[in-house]
Structure 1
Amino acid sequence: MAGCCPGDVSAATGGKRVQFGNRFLNDPARVFHHNAWDNVEWSKEQEAAAAKRVRENSAQRVPPEKQVEFEVNAHEYWNNFYKIHENGFFKDRHWLFTEFPELIPHQNQSDLKTLLLKDNDYEIIENTGCGDGPGLIVSNIQEQHRASSHSLDHEKQKYLMDEATQKLCHPDINTDDFPGSSATYRILEVGCGVGNTVFPILHTNNDPGLFVYCCDFSTTAIELVQVSLPVITNSEYDPSRCFAFVHDLCDEDKDYPIPRESLDIIILIFVLSSIVPDKMQNAINRLSYLLKPGGMFLLRDYGRYDMAQLRFKTGRCLSENFYVRGDGTRVYFFTQDELDTLFTTAGLEKVQNMVDHRLQVNRGKQLTMYRVWIQCKYRKSFSPNTS
């Protein structure tokens, strides 16, 4: 499977995946003993069957005139999606802070074990005596962060000196007139939906210098974030800590309400896959301008041959590996190489690009579901002229 190697891991982890790579299905008879299994090896036969299924469901393409309609009315389809579901699909992402510890300030790192222990999967890992329990996961994350920080110290110090020099040379430049201008750590989530990521960050990260921006294509989604329905979370939408706004990721004529080089983190969770492939590069390029040198993209999205791709019926394919769902929303299925090209073309450095090959299990219905997700971290260099 091109770009989808189950054993691929970040170099920063020393060749071992420490977050989700701890539960392996060594005995097929035990498949229904847990809700999910990690890094499941695909046989050549299974891979060939997946490729065959994709060829079959891609053979008949959506007519060009209908494709134009799906593009022109994309915002309506997403508005309808959120109007129908509202907050009914809200689900805590227990993996968020283990996979992306960059979202937690240093003083909160010790809280990660508590967060993990609330997640049934990690309770099982600890109770079954698997080698890497939650405590070790936290420890490894901290060690990775310290090692990464140490390796960047020299570059960062040089950048900060250059930045100070620029401010001295150009005192007339003032960009302190935007939401969150006084913050010391700024996060933007693109495609925030109803707040599945934003609210956990605001609830968990108590850094007084934190400011979170979140935007979505759908006006309905942003309205739901702003009213912050109590059933979702007890963390209210607070304009002093968060700014939610409507924005089209593909609109090259409308600027983000954030100055260039002002963000520490940009989050893309199952959002890049929703836009036309031809527009992805420009979208990443424009977002990269907003990152500070040393800032990071955090991405999680659909991988090639994911169960959702294989389930599409004939006649739903828009272009190669790009489909339209029954509700009019669209989805693309990536390879690692494709994502690497998008980010490196934007001048970013790879920190992580890995496949999460998981076998999910419905124990009640005795069903197995093969999921393929890709997770990436790409950093903006401290060197000049990267954007």
Structure 2
Amino acid sequence: MEFLEDSIDVPVSEIGELSPEDKVKLEKQNSRIVSEFQANKLEKDAMKNWDLFYKRNETRFFKDRHWTVREFQELLGVQEKPGRRKMLEMGCGVGNLVFPLLEMDLNLFVFACDFSRRAVELVKSNPLYDESKIQAYQVDITTDDVFSKIPQNSIDIITMVFVLSAIHPDNFLKTFENLFSLLLPGGILLFRDYGLYDMAQLRFKPGCKIADNFYVRQDGTRSYYFCTEELKALFQSVGFEILTLSYVHRRTVNKKEGIDVPRIFVQAKLQKPPAAAVEV
């Protein structure tokens, strides 16, 4: 899919009214819910399902995210600071965000991690992979293993783009506690993910819903759809200062297939307070 933008960000509280047809779609999803046994198996098999996803699609599924520096100009700001900045790309996939950044020759060293071992292998096979600029590795960010490669209070900037939605909601808090611990005081976290009532959520059929706003795709991977209110509560409970938080309206366009549909994302810029205590 090709992403073409046709609107500006909308205020935090505005998500728009559902049409009667969309309300019916959401109601139908409740007619058949994923069983507890199936939900537990999906959690157990989460890594396997993502490895299979990357085995099937390799580097072909996602386009390079050249829009990142436009949306998150903080990535360009690293050039203005003395010394080499450390960045963590949380959920790097096959490198669609990090490699365009490396091509810009920014003053960055990038740690790139992903839940899928196969995704990490694809990152390392990229001709642009240079261990003097990037280190890729597999890790479960919902556990303390996240500190095995990176010490606490050491990262200047974290990017997390369409990653949290793939994690079980029970692990959202632990994930953000880990991210908060990794950042230096004053460090920035840049976040984008799927918004509530996004087109992809409305397309799910009965039998795909695991829990409120949490679904399984045909390939076994899962996706959650966020409202800004719950994200605000999550971010603040961990200790982040919210610099920006809003819904973002975009369109997905594929002219060849005649597709032109509206999308809803959530986007945030968060900061670890500069005065946050540094653990020793």
Q: Do they fold alike, i.e. is TM over 0.5?
A: yes
Deviation at 1:54, TM superposition (A): 1.9
> 1:54 maps to which residue?
26
Mapped pair 1:187 → 2:87 = yes
Counterpart-to-counterpart distance in 2, 1:240 and 1:79? 27
> 2:186 maps to which residue?
294
Output the aligned Cα RMSD: 2.4
Secondary structure in 2 matching 1:37: coil
Secondary structure in 1 matching 2:190: strand
2:129 counterpart (234, 237, 241) = 237
> 1:196 maps to which residue?
96
After superposition, residues 46-125 of structure 1 pair within 5 angstroms as: 46=19, 48-105=20-77, 107=79
Deviation at 1:95, TM superposition (A): 1.2
**Is the contact between residue 241 and residue 271 of structure 2 (CA under 8 Å) also seen in structure 1?**
yes
Secondary structure in 1 matching 2:147: coil
Counterpart-to-counterpart distance in 2, 1:35 and 1:206? 26
How far does the alpha carbon of each residue in 1:160-205 deviate from its partner, in whole angstroms, 9 at most, with x for none?
xxxxxxxxxxxxxxxxxxxxxxx63000011100000111111113
Which residue type is aligned with residue 205 of structure 1?
D
Which residue type is aligned with residue 195 of structure 1?
G
Deviation at 1:366, TM superposition (A): 4.5
How far does the alpha carbon of each residue in 1:37-81 deviate from its partner, in whole angstroms, 9 at most, with x for none?
2159976462x5434422321332111111111111111000000
Secondary structure in 1 matching 2:176: helix
How far does the alpha carbon of each residue in 1:103-152 deviate from its partner, in whole angstroms, 9 at most, with x for none?
124658xxxxxxxxxxxxxxxxxxxxxxxxxxxxxxxxxxxxxxxx9xxx
1:218 counterpart (93, 97, 116) = 116
Secondary structure in 2 matching 1:338: helix
Counterpart-to-counterpart distance in 2, 1:335 and 1:260? 29
Counterpart-to-counterpart distance in 2, 1:206 and 1:361? 30
Deviation at 1:365, TM superposition (A): 4.9
Which residue type is aligned with residue 82 of structure 1?
Y
1:279 counterpart (135, 158, 171) = 171
Counterpart-to-counterpart distance in 1, 2:131 and 2:145? 26
Secondary structure in 2 matching 1:205: coil
1:349 counterpart (241, 251, 266) = 241
Deviation at 1:251, TM superposition (A): 2.2
> 1:38 maps to which residue?
7
Mapped pair 1:381 → 2:273 = yes
Mapped pair 1:340 → 2:232 = yes
Deviation at 1:266, TM superposition (A): 0.8
**Is the contact between residue 190 and residue 216 of structure 1 (CA under 8 Å) also seen in structure 2?**
yes
Counterpart-to-counterpart distance in 2, 1:291 and 1:331? 26
Which residue type is aligned with residue 100 of structure 1?
F
How far does the alpha carbon of each residue in 1:273-328 deviate from its partner, in whole angstroms, 9 at most, with x for none?
00110110111001110101110110010000001101111000111000000000
> 1:119 maps to which residue?
none
Counterpart-to-counterpart distance in 2, 1:371 and 1:71? 27
After superposition, residues 152-171 of structure 1 pair within 5 angstroms as: none
Which residue type is aligned with residue 119 of structure 2?
A
Counterpart-to-counterpart distance in 2, 1:384 and 1:104? 24
**Is the contact between residue 153 and residue 184 of structure 2 (CA under 8 Å) also seen in structure 1?**
yes
2:139 counterpart (243, 247, 262) = 247
Of residues 371-380 and 94-103 in structure 1, the stretch that sits farther from structure 2 once superposed is: 94-103
Secondary structure in 1 matching 2:92: coil
Distance 1:45 1:263, change over 3 A: closer
Q: Which has the larger radius of gyration?
A: 1
**Is the contact between residue 142 and residue 178 of structure 2 (CA under 8 Å) also seen in structure 1?**
no
Q: Give the alignment's TM-score, normalised by structure 1.
A: 0.65
Deviation at 1:206, TM superposition (A): 3.4
Mapped pair 1:305 → 2:274 = no
Which residue type is aligned with residue 185 of structure 2?
P
Distance 1:241 1:314, change over 3 A: same
Which residue type is aligned with residue 316 of structure 1?
C
Structure with the bigger percentage of strand: 2
**Is the contact between residue 104 and residue 204 of structure 1 (CA under 8 Å) also seen in structure 2?**
no
Mapped pair 1:319 → 2:211 = yes
Counterpart-to-counterpart distance in 1, 2:17 and 2:62? 36
